[in-house]
């Protein structure tokens, strides 16, 4: 996901004439499809597994905020790649996955759909980046200021 954010930022500054224009877009699309597939697997795994319960020391609003952030992140992990796919396939073109297989376009060909999907992709991607930064700051605060072992729990280890 981090590489996808960086590549998205980098490639949209390139001109059509740039040596790395096609390469960077193709890698972004293929990695984005991979991120989508892994995200769906992770969401199914999370639904199947028992979700760790929040600590009793966490305030009510903190528990609600954390739950909302997790749900939003999961939704974004599906919507961001989908909106990216919509940009690429809105002209009826298939999207190639590392030249291995191609996902056909199943969206209706409509005037302005590519631009609309581009706007949606932009706002969802950068909005999610902001949410990820807030989430990291909250986890660091819990780990190092409250010392409640939140990062250990995020990494699957029980809090000390
Ligand atoms: C989690 C996955 C993804 C992330 C985090 C991500 C992130 C980004 C970011 C930050 C940008 C730059 C936005 C801008 O400045 O306009 C971008 C652009 C773009 N992404 Fe993605 N992306 C993802 C998945 C995909 C997928 C799966 C595709 C296509 C199959 C895709 C296609 C594109 C295209 C075509 C652009 C250029 C849009 C333009 O030129 O306006 N992305 N992406």
84 CB near ligand 1 (under 6 Å): yes
Q: Are 78 and 39 in contact (CB under 8 A)?
A: yes
117 CB near ligand 1 (under 6 Å): no
5 CB near ligand 1 (under 6 Å): yes
Q: At what angle do helices 21-48 and 2-11 cross, to 10 degrees?
A: 150
Strands 95-97, 101-103: pairing is: antiparallel
Structure tokens of 39? Answer: 């995200």
Burial of 128 (0-12, 13-18, 19+ CB in 10 A): buried
Structure tokens of 119? Answer: 């706007």
Q: Which of ligand 1's atoms lies nearest the C-alpha of 76? A: 1
Q: Are 105 and 89 in contact (CB under 8 A)?
A: yes
Distances (CA, A) of 153 to 36, 43, 63, 73: 25, 18, 14, 18
Q: How far is the CA of 157 from the centre of ligand 1 (A)?
A: 33
pLDDT by 10s per residue, the chain, length 160: 999 999 999 999 999 999 999 999 999 999 999 999 999 999 999 889 877 788 888 889 989 998 999 999 999 999 999 999 999 988 788 999 999 999 998 888 788 888 999 999 999 999 999 999 999 999 999 989 988 888 888 887 765 5
Q: How far is the CA of 32 from the centre of ligand 1 (A)?
A: 8
Q: Are 8 and 46 in contact (CB under 8 A)?
A: no
Query: Cα(157)–Cα(52) distance, rounded to whole angstroms?
Result: 11
Q: How far is the CA of 121 from the centre of ligand 1 (A)?
A: 6
Q: How far is the CA of 31 from the centre of ligand 1 (A)?
A: 10
Query: Cα(156)–Cα(151) distance, rounded to whole angstroms?
Result: 9
pTM for this predicted structure: 0.91
């Amino acid at each position: 996901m981090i590489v996808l954010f960086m590549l998205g930022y980098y490639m949209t500054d390139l001109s059509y004439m740039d040596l790395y224009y096609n390469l960077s877009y193709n890698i972004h699309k293929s990695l984005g499809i991979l991120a989508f597939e892994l995200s769906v697997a992770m969401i199914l795994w999370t639904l199947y597994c028992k979700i760790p319960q929040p600590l009793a020391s966490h305030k009510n609003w903190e528990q609600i905020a954390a739950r909302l952030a997790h749900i939003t992140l999961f939704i974004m992990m599906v919507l961001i790649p989908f909106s990216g796919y919509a940009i690429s396939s809105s002209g009826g073109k298939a999207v190639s996955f590392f030249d291995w297989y191609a996902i056909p376009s199943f969206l209706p060909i409509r005037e302005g759909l590519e631009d609309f999907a581009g706007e949606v992709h932009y706002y969802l991607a950068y909005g999610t980046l902001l949410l990820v930064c807030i989430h990291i700051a909250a986890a660091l605060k819990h780990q190092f200021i409250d010392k409640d072992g939140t990062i250990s729990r995020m990494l699957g280890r029980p809090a000390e």
